[in-house]
């Protein structure tokens, strides 16, 4: 896993993840496979992004003797998918860590201005004491991610991370500048945004491809 130049930004650039992203990008990959790939890629990313989760020591009796062992601390992690496309990543996290709490933030991008608009927010009780991982497969202008994190901070969250599959350099920079305290994990960084705010080469509209809406 390579740390790239911006502080707090990890671009995973892992061959197994890149292999799956190649299939994910293809225009010939349809909803069922797209959904499964988003889930699998998220599971692989979770392995990296969760490697410093809070743990607690427990004592275990094996068939041979007692030993001390680390386990993930209860009620320490919440994931917050940004609707809609972030929903596709939740099961990928739950595959590795089934007790992660889930909050939901609804944001959509205005097609003209590309500004994010909030329409929903429901977060687990006590989230302000948890590590919070914002899930959204696409980090384009970075506006939605920055707005989601601002909403979480306004509700008292302090330990926040962003996990996205594909990012544009513009979005990474915007998010890292707006929230320098937030660690950003992305699987790949693409070339740029087009004039409509879509990531190039990207994969098109993640929400539409996940839910078959177009």
Chain residues binding ligand PRP by CB under 6 A are 82-85, 107-109, 114, 116, 136, 138-145, 171, 197, 206-207
How far apart CA 73 and CA 183 sit, in angstroms, is: 20
Omega before 74 cis (within 30°)? no
Is 161 part of the annotated catalytic residue set? no
Query: Among 176, 170, 117, 182, which Cα is nearest to 147's?
Result: 117
Neighbours of 79 (CB within 10 A): 27
In 3-state terms, what secondary structure has residue 163?
strand
- Name which of ligand PRP, ligand URA, none residue 198 binds, using a CB cut-off of 5 to 8 Å depending on partner kind: ligand URA
Whether the CB-CB separation of 19 and 199 falls below 8 Å is answered with no
DSSP 3-state of 18: helix
Contact window for ligand URA (CB under 6 A) among 53-61, 126-134, 178-186, 194-202: 194-202
Residue nearest to ligand PRP (CB): 207
Binders of ligand URA in range 123-142 (CB under 6 A) = 138, 140
Residue 152's binding partner out of ligand PRP, ligand URA, none, with CB under 5 to 8 Å set by partner kind? none
Q: Exactly one of 13, 29, 43, 205 is catalytic; name it.
A: 205
116: partner contacted, choices ligand PRP, ligand URA, none (Cβ within 5-8 A by kind): ligand PRP
Beta bridge partners of 109: 116
Indicate which residues carry an active-site annotation: 109, 113, 205, 208
């Amino acid at each position: 896993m390579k740390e790239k130049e911006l502080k707090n930004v990890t671009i995973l650039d892992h061959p197994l993840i890149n292999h799956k992203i190649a299939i994910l990008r293809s225009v010939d990959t349809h909803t069922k496979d797209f959904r499964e790939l988003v889930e699998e890629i998220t599971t692989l990313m979770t392995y990296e992004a969760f490697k410093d989760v809070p743990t607690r020591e427990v004592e275990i009796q094996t068939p041979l003797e007692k030993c001390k062992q680390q386990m993930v601390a209860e009620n320490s992690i919440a994931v917050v998918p940004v609707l809609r496309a972030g929903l596709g990543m939740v099961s990928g996290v739950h595959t590795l860590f089934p007790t992660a709490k889930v909050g939901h933030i609804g944001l959509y991008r205005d097609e003209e201005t590309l500004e994010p608009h909030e329409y929903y927010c429901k977060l687990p009780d006590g989230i302000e004491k948890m590590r919070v991982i914002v899930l959204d497969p696409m980090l384009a202008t970075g506006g939605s991610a920055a707005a989601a994190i601002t909403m979480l901070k306004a509700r008292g969250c302090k330990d926040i991370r962003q996990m996205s599959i594909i990012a544009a350099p513009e979005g990474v920079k915007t998010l890292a500048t707006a929230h320098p305290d937030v660690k950003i994990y992305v699987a790949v960084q693409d070339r740029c945004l087009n004039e409509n705010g879509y990531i190039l080469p990207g994969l098109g509209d993640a929400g539409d491809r996940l839910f078959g809406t177009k």
